[in-house]
Amino acid sequence: MPTFDFISSGLRTLRIESDAVKALSKSIDQEFNKACELILNCPGRIIVTGMGKSGHIGKKIAATLASTGTPAFFVHPGEANHGDLGMITKHDIVLAISYSGASNEILTLLPMLKRSGIKIISMTGNPASTLAEVAEAHLNIAVEIEACPLDLAPTASTTVTLVLGDALAIALLEARGFTEEDFAFSHPGGALGRKLLLRVVDIMHTGDQIPRVLANASLSEALLTMTEKGFGMTTVVDDKNQLLGIFTDGDLRRTIDKGISLSGAAISDLMNRTPKTINVKALPAEALKMMEDLKITALVVRDEHAYPVGVLHMHDLLRAGVV
């Protein structure tokens, strides 16, 4: 059996689809602008529909829209013809995808959609098709050639459809002023959600877990507190719980290097009077950056009055999935 040149075949597909995407720039036109304005002003949801491979791409487009601030979901046109049409209201917009613009399952829906006053945005490769002509806005997904050498399997055309759907979603995201925090609310179970929805206050150690000694405490007392609490540091406070300083394992090593007696020294003479702290409302991601930049493993957490209300350790960030 002769050896087949898989590499050349793969590169040919990449070249064809890359060229198709580059040519797509001509579809970012006034029709694209009209589609964006229709969606932006839509009081309902975007209902994406399509048959076969167009349907698979449509599901991804609907998911991308929904996660970037545009309420959307996918409805199979065949199911819509058998009851699911009731899921679509007059406040919604239908985004119908059909490369030929002549999918029977979609064309069958058009009279009912029009009768209900539901606006349609079409994505087809034929601007003269029935679907394109009845739509309020038409997005052209025509390609010169499919990557499939038989010109049968949708390849370049589905890639172009997906890319144009992404362009639509991102244009709307930017127009809405959609933020990272908005995105996190749509992805509470993801890493970004954990990073943006959590606050330091949600994962810090509080109350009796905070290592704390008074300014008149001895070094030996401070070391006992550090050992008991296990953070490799202790806060130093006055009798009103105002933070005066911090003493860490590193400060202990420097104290020993200086030959200072561990039994008689006062912690107020050895502490760091400018400790690094973080606000209780800060994001854990901010705490992580501080720890990495300063090469430390724990931070004192302060409230708006600068009182030490907690301690955050690198292990807490690991457990919360922020790292």
- In contact, 70 and 41? CB cutoff 8 Å: no
Task: Report if pTM > 0.85.
Answer: no
Which of 136, 138, 144 is closest to 164 using CA atoms? 138
SS3 301: strand
Residue 300: CA count within 13 A, CB half-sphere: 27
Query: Which tens digit of pLDDT belongs to each residue from 36-52?
Result: 999 999 999 999 999 99
Query: Which tens digit of pLDDT belongs to each residue from 94-147?
Result: 999 999 999 999 999 999 999 999 999 999 999 999 999 999 999 999 999 999
State the DSSP string of 81-96.
TTTGGGG--TT-EEEE
Residues 200-319, CATH architecture: Roll (3.10)
Beta-carbon count within 10 A of 97 CB: 31
Measured between alpha carbons, how far is residue 290 from residues 58, 170, 249, 277 in Å? 43, 32, 18, 9
Helices and strands per DSSP (H, E), number in the chain: 16, 11
Query: Which tens digit of pLDDT belongs to each residue from 209-236?
Result: 999 999 888 888 888 999 999 888 999 9
Rounded CA gap, 213 and 217, in Å?
A: 6
Q: Which two tokens stand for residue 255?
A: 């104290």
Rounded CA gap, 177 and 184, in Å?
A: 14
Question: Would you state the pLDDT for residue 194?
Answer: 58
> Phi/psi at 306 (nearest 5 deg)?
70, 15
Domain positions in the chain: 6-178, 200-319
Beta-carbon contacts of 182 under 8 Å, excluding residues fewer than 6 positions away, are 69
Beta-carbon contacts of 72 under 8 Å, excluding residues fewer than 6 positions away, are 45, 46, 47, 48, 61, 62, 63, 65, 66, 95
- CATH number of the 6-178 domain: 3.40.50.10490
Query: Which tens digit of pLDDT belongs to each residue from 2-39?
Result: 789 999 999 999 999 999 999 999 999 999 999 999 99
> Which residue type, as a one-letter code, is found at position 38?
L
Query: Which tens digit of pLDDT belongs to each residue from 164-181?
Result: 999 999 999 999 887 766
Residue that the structure tokens 């199979």 belong to: 76
- Using the Cα atoms of residue 216, residue 218, residue 219 and residue 220 in order, give the sign of their dihedral: negative
